[in-house]
Amino acid sequence: MAFLTPRRARRALLLGILAYGLCRAQVFNEYQVKAAFLYAFAKYVEWPPQAFSSASAPISICVLGDDPFGAFLDDAIRGKTVGDRPLALYRLAELPAGRDCKILFIATSERRRMAALLASASTPGLLTVGDTAEFAAQGGVIGLRRDGERIRMLVNLLAAEKAKLRISSRVLSLATIVKSEIVK
């Protein structure tokens, strides 16, 4: 039976304090979590076949407006593929004319023109994601809302259906379903 000497006790206490400090330093970063969600959506959303120009065309993630992610989104998708499709990231000031985006994150900076953006982005094969309070209720497909130290998903199934997207039951089981009429 080994006894705890005063020296060993001090070491154990010091290691405990250091470990506690390191664990407390792991701060929740909402946009790091949201970046992981965007990557997961690429894996758990099914696009209509005509949404892609070829079988190996990338799944393009676009950020419209002031980018809140920093390097988190770049890090989340770097070098990753979904099936045979690579992931690509674009930062935009305006909606792209060609609509090559498959996942469009509309930043909070676009709040004032959100209704107009959602109306013009409402096209087959485009998953709209945002984090303003009423994003899904306004016609976006997936809203990401911070709730304390967690991110909650709100899914508008009518908007997903209009965009001809099939969202996996794995995602839906974690989400709150928003019922709202889509403005036409």
What's the CATH code of the domain at 87? 3.40.50.2300
Residue 24: predicted pLDDT: 42
- Residue 141 maps to a domain: yes
Pairwise CA distance, residues 81 & 147, whole Å: 30
Residue 6: predicted pLDDT: 56
CB 106 within 8 A of CB 128: yes
Longest CA–CA separation in the chain, Å: 76
Q: Domain count of the chain?
A: 1
- Residue 58 maps to a domain: yes
Structure tokens, 106: 């509309």
Residue 137: predicted pLDDT: 94
Quote the domain boundaries for residue 118.
28-178
R_g of the chain computed on alpha carbons = 21
CA atoms 129, 133, 137, 139: torsion sign: negative
Pairwise CA distance, residues 181 & 184, whole Å: 9
- Residue 130 maps to a domain: yes
Question: What is the enclosing helix (H) or strand (E) of 116?
Answer: helix 114-121
Residue pLDDT tens, the chain, 184 long? 455 565 554 444 444 444 344 344 446 799 999 999 999 999 999 999 899 999 899 999 999 999 999 999 999 999 999 999 999 999 998 886 656 899 999 999 999 999 999 998 888 999 999 999 899 999 999 999 999 999 999 999 999 999 999 999 999 999 999 976 554 4
Q: Phi and psi at residue 25, in whole multiples of 5°?
A: -75, -15
Rounded alpha-carbon distances, angstroms, from residue 77 to 31, 87, 150, 166: 14, 6, 21, 21
Pairwise CA distance, residues 52 & 72, whole Å: 26
Rounded alpha-carbon distances, angstroms, from residue 112 to 65, 73, 118: 12, 24, 12
Residue 18: predicted pLDDT: 41
- Residue 150 maps to a domain: yes
Residue 122: predicted pLDDT: 84
Structure tokens, 160: 């997903």
pTM of the full structure: 0.82
